[in-house]
Amino acid sequence: MKSAFILVALLLALVAHAQDATLTLDGSKPGPRLSPWLHGIFFEEINHAGDGGLNPEKLRGTASWTIVGKGQVAMKSLDSNVPGNFVEVRVRGAERGGIRNDGYWGIGVERGKKYGFRARLTEGARVRVALVAPDGSELASALVKATGEVAVELIPKRTEPKASLVLSVAGGDGFRLENASLLPRETFGKSQVRKDLGELIAGMQPSFVRFPGGCFVEGDKLANKFDWKTTLGKKSGRTPNQCLWGYKCTNGLGYHEFLQWSEDMKSEPLFVVNCGMSHTDIVPMEKMGAVVQDALDAIEYANGDSKTTRWGAERAKNGHPKPFGLKLIEIGNENGGPKYEERYKLIYEAIKKKYPEVNLIACDWGGLPKSAPVEISDEHFYTSPQQMQNLSRRYDNYPRTGPKIYLGEYAVTQGCGQGNLIAALSEAAFITGLERNSDVVSLASYAPLLVNSSNRAWNPDAIVFDSQRSFGTPSYWVQRMFSTNRGEQVVPATLDVRRVKAPAPPGGVGVGTWRTDATFADVKINGSPALLTPSRGTWAPEGNGWRQTELADDRRAYGGDRRGSGDYTLTLRARKSQGEEGFLVLFRVGTDDDYLWWNLGGWGNTRHNIERAIGGGKELVARDVPGKIEPDRWYDIKIECEGERVRCYLDNVLIHDVTLAPPPPPFYAVVTRDEKNQQLLVKLVNIQERPADFRLVLNGIGALTGRGEALTLSGNDPNAENSFEKPLRLAPVKTPLTGARGDFTYRAPAWSVSILRLDLKK
């Protein structure tokens, strides 16, 4: 402990050289109150987040049973369209056989833990129920008589992540199996979700739980949308639906469980209602009455009196007489356009008429609806580390008179590995902007929340799990750090950054196509030929150039000196033979993931623009110019690069003249006040490969006691990740602070986010 005090005292010591950044706090006027709903979670049935994940049921449905044993075994599936297991088994011969269920990529069991097997078994046979390891050894077993409802407890004698449940005939000719279930006795909360996942998520202290999605709300078609009424009651009687993400969903986590899970965590439930739209079909306006009533019924189920309302009584019947107190409803998911406008208006007005106290959220998908008021707007951002950092300033000058903002889905999804440190730090930078503008931003939730490592349909995710283990990615820990260290009020602060001269731009060039067959000729840098080397695609020499014929995404060839100067004039000629788009002309290429390109005839051959890629993620740096590239004609292309200015010419006509903004500084900060504990919460992000010295100037804040603590997430490698083998490789570390009085300097480690809790004198 002594060494920790010495270390942090050194971190706080004033340093002789110039500070990297100065954070000046202004206590003369209060900042905005921090929204009590700001940090929540987004749950969607994706990546087997529910079935095979948060839903603790270990067995898959009817179609997942297979035959085992050497006897003459016949198995007949009786109904594969229900979540329960309906199988008929017949055995002949001296060696008894049976059936096996491997669960979700193996049934994870722990030594000494209790697992309850329940089923309806009939036909009179004696049945051996066993948990079996992959090598065939028995972990736990029990004998039952197939004469009706059976319930046994299995206690494995060792831990095994890939166990199977085997039901074999121990006497008689066979059995009929219905509604089989294998559940761990240890679960989380009254919702009885999987214990380790429940605890990891509860550790985030989410203000709200958004459910059930996501695209899962809409479905690929309306027949597969989330129908909350069919998810109530006994799990064996629930109607499954085909999940948009490629598997049949049992709805073992239904509407009631989501409400109960929210209550378990003392979080506000946020229910997303289907607005009559799926990915492929739409409810006609003349039939929207049923959709509107369904939304009203959902609120009644959550909030209605258990004695005087139909759906309130149904809730009480399902074990929860007291209302859940649903206050947040989102109308649709990622819906927009005229059809959404019509349906939004119907649902908005009906809910406000009957439940005026409910807060309604609208989709901002190509523009907010104008057909009815918008109280809260749902925005989504999936992008690169660089762009996520840029977005930290998005709300600084946002209109204060419009609707509040809900960041319903956001994450770094490019250059992120399977959840690395640079992604998490970029998200931390973004969060500083959300907190700083909490008078505009009311809610935010990272997405997606969960991924089964055997079914990664979306990458990355906050929490990774398999049949037995789980861990949080660095993004999970960033979410948890901010959510558990909020404060109640923002303290106005100004971050002044010492500018460091940017490195000279690299000198590589390139050409490329996107689902297009094109030829490039006479490629020159400052009038000298630049030899091209194909990288990806089908390239062949043609005349004094190269032709790429593969109609696929992002085909490229490179030239020039990447270590040379990026101040040059690039000229070439290009011709399109066929395909959907035009040309990609790359300039200032440093690596395959760091470059600029002029996208001519992009976005379905409708417009031109310049894009900058950093770490693989792209952002637009100019205004769109409408235009298309015609086939079978040559175009003259010229790009002039001089310092931060770039000019792009097509057939000697200036199309773009832009001044590139310098990359944002790698430092981000926000300060809040914890009124209950009389503490300042100083939140600092350092996204660079060396430590950074933050000088804190406290104007009008009051005196500090000198005591506090630092919670820091950091690493040496921005691409580092956590894993099952090293689940806490990147996790926050708490250390005491001493000497934090008056103005002081804190040295933030390289690649880090730090939250300083500083005690204020009363």
Alpha carbon distance 390, 580 (integer Å): 31
The residues, any chain, with a CB within 8 Å of residue 458's CB and separated by 6 or more, are 46, 47, 245, 448, 451
Alpha carbon distance 358, 248 (integer Å): 32
Alpha carbon distance 590, 567 (integer Å): 13
Which phi and psi angles does 196 have, rounded to 5°? -65, -40
Is 45 among the catalytic positions? Answer: no
Nearest-10 crossing angle of helices 310-317, 288-303: 50
Alpha carbon distance 125, 78 (integer Å): 18
Question: Half-sphere exposure (CA, 13 Å, Cβ side) for 719?
Answer: 4
Unique residue bearing structure tokens 């119907």:
346
Question: One-letter amino acid identity for 557?
Answer: A
Alpha carbon distance 429, 235 (integer Å): 42
Both tokens of residue 225? Answer: 């949308």
Catalytic, out of 257, 330, 334, 409:
334
Q: Which regions of 43-147 does DSSP assign to beta strands (E)?
A: 65-68, 72-77, 86-92, 98-101, 107-109, 115-122, 126-132, 138-145
Alpha carbon distance 153, 113 (integer Å): 10
Dihedral, CA atoms, 442, 446, 449, 451, nearest 10 degrees?
A: 160
Give CA separation, 245 vs 44, 52, 329, 445, 456, in Å.
10, 14, 24, 20, 10
Nearest-10 crossing angle of helices 255-264, 195-202: 50
Establish whether the linkage from the previous residue to 36 is cis, with ω within 30° of 0. no
Both tokens of residue 238? Answer: 């629930």
Both tokens of residue 111? Answer: 């030594």
For the chain, report the end-to-end CA distance as a whole number of angstroms. Answer: 28
- For the annotated catalytic residues, the residue numbers are 334
